Amino acid sequence: MNTETAPLESRDWTRRDALKGIGATLGVAAFAKALAPLTEWTQDLSVDQFLQKHYKELSPMDLAIVLARLEKETKEQYGADVSIKDYKAQPGVKFGYALNLSICIGCRKCAEACHIENNHDRPSAQSYIRVFEMQKGSLDMEKGNAHYDHPVPQKDKFYMPVQCHHCDHPPCVSVCPVEATWKEPDGIVVVDYNWCIGCRYCEAACPYHARRFNWTKPQIPAEEINPDQSYLSNRIRPQGVMEKCTFCLHRTRNGKLPACLEACPTGARVFGNLLDPNSEIRKVLAEKRVFVLKEELGLKPNFFYFFDV
């Protein structure tokens, strides 16, 4: 008996010990890796925000709590007292927008108004509107130049502002892997900024280049922040999410005109309810030579361009 047990007590490492050790090491490493995202947890991301449900699954009570939290976070991070509301679509309303290319002079006042109204990042001069300077004789926006910096209008050019067309068949909505963007009953395509994962598929899918990505945390001085905000539109977006034109739903769902229209010095923009036969937008469709951009894609945009003559 003694001769059999002695070697067992005094033996060196066996293969079984080595395998156990390797297994344990791998296990610890895998566990550490699994928890690694926690080390990247930033102060900007609260636990409540991390656990927040999709906008459409929020009960009125949940939503009230979320809005109050967002207001508090804006105060903490930007030092501004803001009011964040949630405005619902009105029944019997479908929004449409038309732009008179005969009148637009390319001054980019609309883009500036959007920048201010929608609390865009100041250093990147972000805006949902891009104004293309176009050679007369072509309607190909891909050949337009958005970076002109000379007095306008130039004689041989025309100017075509492009923003979200709020398509009836929005490709940006179809491609979203997490359903963070959808079309509302009044036709507005919106984003739940707290549900978006920032994959930018929608940006690639949009043929109008209408979506923007927040590469950085938006920087806005407290005194420049527009305090009239809503959850689905102009509240300050977090870093790493998509954003887009919402037809200023915090204004238009309250009956007001969008900021870009009010800023237009030439009156090139017409906004209204497509379901109201007496609205200005319906008169454009009835009386003017109207076209939509990239009609061949079949996306059925609710943004129209027209000419005077």
Partner 1 sequence: MIAITTRKIAFVVSCLCFAAVLLAGVRDHVAAPSDAPSQTIISNAPLHPVIIRPGPETPRILTTQTNYAGEIARASCSSCHTTTTPNRNTASSAQLLKFHQGMTYAHGNQSCLNCHNETDYDSLRLANGSSLPYADVMKLCGQCHGPQLRDYEMGLHGGMNGYWDRTRGPRTRNNCVDCHDPHNPAYPVVQPVLPPKDRIAVPRKSEHGSVKLCEKTAASICNVLSSLHPTLFA
Report, in Å, the least distance between residue 166 CB and partner 1: 15
Q: Does 161 bind partner 1 (CB under 8 A)?
A: no
Q: One symbol per residue from 248 to 267: x for binding partner 1 (CB under 8 A), - otherwise; what is it? A: ----x-xxxx---xx-xxxx
CA distance 225 to 80: 7
The whole-angstrom distance between residue 185's C-alpha and the CA centroid of its chain comes to 18
CA distance 247 to 238: 20
Residue among 41, 215, 291, 307 that touches partner 1 (CB under 8 A): 215
Cα dihedral: 10, 15, 17, 22 (round 10): 150
Q: What does DSSP assign to residue 116? A: H
The two structure tokens encoding residue 235: 């509240």
CA distance 72 to 46: 12
Q: Which stretch binds partner 1 (CB under 8 A): 8-16, 29-37, 86-94, 218-226?
A: 86-94
Report, in Å, the least distance between residue 129 CB and partner 1: 9
CA distance 275 to 297: 24
Residue among 270, 299, 303, 304 that touches partner 1 (CB under 8 A): 270
Report, in Å, the least distance between residue 201 CB and partner 1: 15
Site for partner 1 in 130-159 (CB under 8 A): 130-131, 142-153
Cα dihedral: 253, 255, 256, 258 (round 10): 40
**Is the CB of 37 or the CB of 265 nearer to partner 1?**
265
By C-alpha distance, which of 76, 258, 256, 88 is closest to 164? 258
**Is the CB of 63 or the CB of 275 nearer to partner 1?**
275
Cα 226 to Cα 57, 82, 113: the distances in Å are 28, 8, 11
**Is the CB of 100 or the CB of 194 nearer to partner 1?**
100
Site for partner 1 in 98-117 (CB under 8 A): 100, 103, 105-109, 111-112, 115
Radius of gyration for the alpha carbons in the chain, expressed in angstroms and rounded: 27
CA distance 211 to 77: 25
Q: Does 189 bind partner 1 (CB under 8 A)?
A: no
Report, in Å, the least distance between residue 178 CB and partner 1: 23
- Cβ atoms of residues 292 and 129 within 8 Å: no
Q: Which residues bind to partner 1, rule: CB under 8 A?
A: 91-94, 100, 103, 105-109, 111-112, 115, 123-127, 130-131, 142-153, 185, 209, 212, 215, 252, 254-257, 261-262, 264-267, 270-273, 275-280, 283-284, 287-288, 308-309
